[in-house]
Chains A and B, each alone.
Chain A
Amino acid sequence: MNIDSIKNGIVLDHIQAKKGMEIYNTLNLGELDCSVAIITNARSKKMGRKDIIKIDKNIDLDLDILGYIDPNITINIIKNDIRTQKYHLKLPQEIVGIIKCKNPRCITSIEPELKQTFILTNEKEKTYRCKYCETLKED
Chain B
Amino acid sequence: MKNLIDIKDLSTQEIQELIEVAKDIMQHPQNYVEKCKHKKLATLFFEPSTRTRLSFEAAMMELGGNVIGFSSASSSSTAKGESVSDTIRTIGCYSDIIAMRHPKEGAPLVASIKSTVPIINAGDGGHNHPTQTLTDLLTISCEKQRLNNLTIGLCGDLKFGRTVHSLITAMSRYENIKFILISPEELKIPEYVKKEILEKHQIQYIETTSLEEHMKDLDILYMTRVQKERFFNEEDYVRLKDYYILNNSKLTTAKQDLCIMHPLPRVNEISTEVDDDPRAKYFNQVRYGKYIRMALILKMLEIK
- A residues touching B (Cβ–Cβ < 8 Å)? 103, 105-114, 121-122, 130-136
In the complex, A66 Cα to B233 Cα: how many Å? 40
- Knowing A105-B104, A105-B105, A132-B109 are in contact, say whether A111-B192 is a contact too (CB < 8 A): no
- A133 touches which one: B84, B85, B127 (CB < 8 A)? B127
B102 (CB) vs chain A CBs: closest residue: A107
Closest to B78 in A: A110
Q: How far is the CA of A135 from the CA of B85 in the complex (A)?
A: 21
A107/B110 contact (C-beta < 8 A), A113-B83, A136-B192 known: yes
> Is B110 touching A105 in the complex (CB atoms < 8 A)?
no
B56 CB to nearest A CB, Å: 21
Q: 14 A-B Cβ contacts within 8 A? A: A105-B103, A105-B104, A105-B105, A107-B102, A107-B107, A107-B110, A108-B106, A111-B110, A112-B83, A122-B196, A130-B106, A133-B106, A133-B125, A134-B127
- The CA of A105 and the CA of B127, in the complex, are separated in Å by 9
What chain B residues lie within 8 Å of A108 (beta carbons)?
106
Contact with A along B170-194 (1 / 0, CB 8 A): 0000000000000000000000100
Contact flag A106-B109 (CB < 8 Å), given A113-B85, A133-B127, A136-B192: no
Neighbour of B83 across the interface among A111, A132, A135, CB < 8 A:
A111
A2 to B: closest C-beta gap in Å: 49
Residues of B within 8 A of A (CB): 83-85, 102-107, 109-110, 124-127, 192, 196
Q: What is the distance, in angstroms, from A134's C-beta to the closest C-beta of chain B?
A: 7
Closest 10 CB pairs of A and B: A132-B106, A133-B105, A107-B106, A107-B104, A133-B106, A107-B107, A105-B125, A105-B105, A106-B105, A107-B110
**Contacting residues, chain A, for B110 (C-beta < 8 A):** 107, 111, 114, 132
Question: Looking at chain A's contact residues, is the secondary structure mostly helix, strand, loop, or mixed?
Answer: loop
Contact A131 B104 (CB under 8 A): no
Count of A-B residue pairs with CB < 8 Å:
52
In the complex the two chains form, is B196's CB within 8 Å of A132's CB?
Answer: no
Smallest CB separation, B61 vs chain A (Å): 30
Shortest Cβ gap from A127 to chain B (Å)? 8
User: Which residues of A sit under 8 angstroms from B102, Cβ to Cβ?
Assistant: 107
Partner of B85, one of A103, A111, A130: A111
| Chain B residues, CB < 8 A from A134 | 105-106, 127
Q: How far is the CA of A103 from the CA of B107 in the complex (A)?
A: 13
User: B104–A106 contact, CB under 8 A?
Assistant: yes
Task: Looking at the assembled complex, report how far the CB atom of B257 sits from the nearest CB atom of chain A, in whole angstroms.
Answer: 36
Report the bound CA distance from A110 to B107 in whole Å: 10
19 further interface pairs, Cβ-Cβ under 8 Å (given A107-B107, A132-B105, A132-B109): A105-B103, A105-B105, A105-B125, A105-B126, A106-B105, A106-B106, A107-B102, A107-B124, A108-B106, A111-B85, A111-B107, A113-B85, A121-B196, A130-B106, A132-B106, A132-B110, A134-B105, A134-B127, A135-B105
Shortest Cβ distance from A123 into chain B, in angstroms? Answer: 13
Q: How far is the CB of A12 from chain B (nearest CB, A)?
A: 33
Contact B106 A110 (CB under 8 A): no
Instruction: Decide: B192 and A110 in contact? CB cutoff 8 A.
Output: no
Q: How far is the CB of A122 from chain B (nearest CB, A)?
A: 7
Q: Inside 8 A of A131's CB, which chain B residues have their CB?
A: 106, 109
Taking CB atoms, residues of chain B closer than 8 Å to A122 are 196
**B111 smallest CB distance to A (angstroms):** 9
